[in-house]
Structure 1
Amino acid sequence: MPSDRLMRAACSLAARGLYVFPLRPGSKIPAVRRDWEGCATTDVEQIERWWLRAPYNIGVATGPSRLLVVDLDAPKRSDLDRRHGRQVLDELARKAHETVPRNTLIVTTAGGGQHLYFRAPTDRSLTNTAGRLGPHIDTRARGGYVVGPGSRSGRSLYRIVHGTDPVPAPQWIVALLQPSIPPCPPRRETPHPAYVRAAIEGEMRRVAEATPGRRNATLFKAAARLGRFVHSGQVNDGDVDAALSTAASGHVGIDGFSPYEIRRTIRSGIARSVQGAGNRRGADPMPPQRSRTS
């Protein structure tokens, strides 16, 4: 009976350590209601219970089975590229000065293609791909499944043509499957407006509380630190000038400290920050030479 044949085929795959689950008879669609990957099993009793119900096709869950299956499709009549996926993979191998392993589990598909079963690498997390290796080549790994040998589509069967156990996936194939991630441009952090306000208030407090011997250097550093917000367009230099001038106003007249000295120091600090002359991000800028009046 068809169910017996499919049951034996499913149990044979499970004996290899491959996790199987039922597909609708003659179909690629899972027969379980949900979570086909979670239902996949190597438990013989569960497999027998499933296939006693109906002649289900066999699904092989590649993730739990720790497989990488390379699916080589035959071209359709409407395809512009008439090469078989097997030919495309052979060309990739030649370019890499390698060969396509034929000593692994190989299954012919109902549509004239091939499934090459490999053991997935333990140090890489591979997922499903479509066309990444080339035309008419898909791969199934974590989150995927393939129709297993013994299954039927129309009058055609999925058949094992090389019955050895899967061998480790070739490194050159694994390397080609790694996603190509373009480099990101350097990230320019944009602090939240509340952070900007807090920074301005903090610098104003430091300037206001500076001792006479440190007020010029403190004002310069404050202007340089706040200048990065001017550079990023979050505040304008007039706002920074007004805030720091207000904070420094309490020092005017003490030991000859003047409004002119305040404006000159603020402008110098902002200019140093915007130009970034000799400064690294996060480092305190060097203050100007201490004036005689501070």
Structure 2
Amino acid sequence: MAPSARHTTAPALAHALSAAERGFPVIPLSPTKLPALRSPHRHEDRQVVCHGECGRPGHGVHDATTDPAAVRALFGAAPWATGYGIACGRPPHRLIGVDLDVRSPDDDAVELRHLALRHLFGLPRTVTVLTPSGGMHLWLTGPPNVVVPNSASRLAPGIDIRGAGGYLVGPGSVSARGTYRLAPGTADLSPAPCPRPLLGLIAPPPRPHPTTTRPHRQGHGLIHFVLTAQEGQRNTRLFWAACRAYEHGLGDALTEALVTASVRTGLPEHEARATVQSASRLTAG
């Protein structure tokens, strides 16, 4: 007899709850390693920029949570889930994933060691997840003031980085190709801090602060409004503040400050810029 959806989901839920208990925000994944819940806006006629503000599940990594009740609700809505994803870049761990490609994990590991030698940093002992196709994921943590973006083979061929807005498949997940499992000797480890030289390679340089214009006092209030956004409010608050800025002729002067404030709250930079551009278009119309 084929296993029921409940029996298939139960191990994934158990692993996800264990990860959430340790402070890792999680979402259910399908056997394809994609978020198990589809967007609730997929049938709407107009393009919707929503990261969960509507209150419905199905927003990918934006659904990730450490709340046990919310985790159970997500998996309850996705009984076909066989794995779970861990959101990167989110407090308290601010996880950074170094993904060594399946095609040649040994060569990629050597390439990573060459980078370490070239840039004078050591590779710390850290949580390591072995993928069913032969690759591996190294878990590292980042500082609170640095946003690491996702990238593919930018650091080196075959080495991808999972940062803010991305996720890692958690150990114990089952995909169509097999099971993700912890490497021997790493089960009791915590993610190690990312070496500073490596962080410098994968994080964008800080943007220079504009010196030609000084925001009006109202601009400081809008920035503070964005900075104090809680999870689930970030995109909405940014859009509202950007609309007010453009309506008062401060949009261009405040764009970088509003984007920076949103990134500090955990919103990926590309999404923050898209939201500000949407506000610009709306107020221009």
Q: TM-score, normalised by structure 2?
A: 0.56
* Contact 2:172 2:180 survives alignment (8 Å): yes
Residue 157 of structure 1: CA displacement?
0.8
Aligned-residue CA RMSD (Å): 2.3
Matched, 1:42 2:98: no
Deviation by residue 1:128-180 (Cα, 9 ceiling, x = unmatched): 01112101100011111121111122352111121212121111210111347
Specify the alignment match of 1:6 in structure 2.
12
Residue 49 of structure 1: CA displacement?
3.2
Specify the alignment match of 2:120 in structure 1.
97
Matched, 1:61 2:66: no
* Contact 1:120 1:141 survives alignment (8 Å): no
* Contact 1:27 1:57 survives alignment (8 Å): no
Q: Distance in 1 between matches of 2:61 and 2:178?
A: 26
Which of 134, 137, 145 is the aligned partner of 1:123? 145
Q: Distance in 2 between matches of 1:142 and 1:97?
A: 25
Q: Distance in 2 between matches of 1:3 and 1:31?
A: 11
Per the alignment, do residues 180 and 64 of structure 1 end up closer, same or farther by CA in structure 2, a change over 3 Å counting?
A: closer
Specify the alignment match of 1:70 in structure 2.
98
SS at match of 2:155: coil
Residue 97 of structure 1: CA displacement?
2.9
Deviation by residue 1:9-54 (Cα, 9 ceiling, x = unmatched): 1011111211101112x11211222322321111112222333433
Q: Which amino acid aligns with 2:198?
A: I
Kindly report which structure 2 residues correspond to 1:94-243, keeping only aligned pairs within 5 A, or say none: 94-102=117-125, 104-161=126-183, 162-163=186-187, 164-179=189-204
* Contact 2:101 2:159 survives alignment (8 Å): yes
The gaps in structure 2 that reach 5 residues or longer are 1-6, 40-58, 207-285
* Contact 1:74 1:85 survives alignment (8 Å): no
Q: Bigger radius of gyration, 1 or 2? A: 1
Per the alignment, do residues 115 and 144 of structure 1 end up closer, same or farther by CA in structure 2, a change over 3 Å counting?
A: same
Relative contact order, CA 8 A, sep 6+: which one is greater? 2
Identity across aligned pairs (percent)?
36
Q: Which amino acid aligns with 1:166?
A: P
SS at match of 2:156: coil
Matched, 1:15 2:43: no
Deviation by residue 1:78-118 (Cα, 9 ceiling, x = unmatched): xxxx963211101111212332112x211111221111111
Count of equivalent residues: 175
Per the alignment, do residues 21 and 179 of structure 1 end up closer, same or farther by CA in structure 2, a change over 3 Å counting?
A: same
Q: Distance in 2 between matches of 1:32 and 1:95?
A: 43
Specify the alignment match of 1:30 in structure 2.
35
Q: Which amino acid aligns with 1:64?
A: R
The gaps in structure 1 that reach 5 residues or longer are 77-81, 182-294
Per the alignment, do residues 43 and 106 of structure 1 end up closer, same or farther by CA in structure 2, a change over 3 Å counting?
A: same
Q: Distance in 1 between matches of 2:8 and 2:175?
A: 13
Q: TM-score, normalised by structure 1?
A: 0.55
Shifted more, 119-128 versus 12-21: the winner is: 119-128
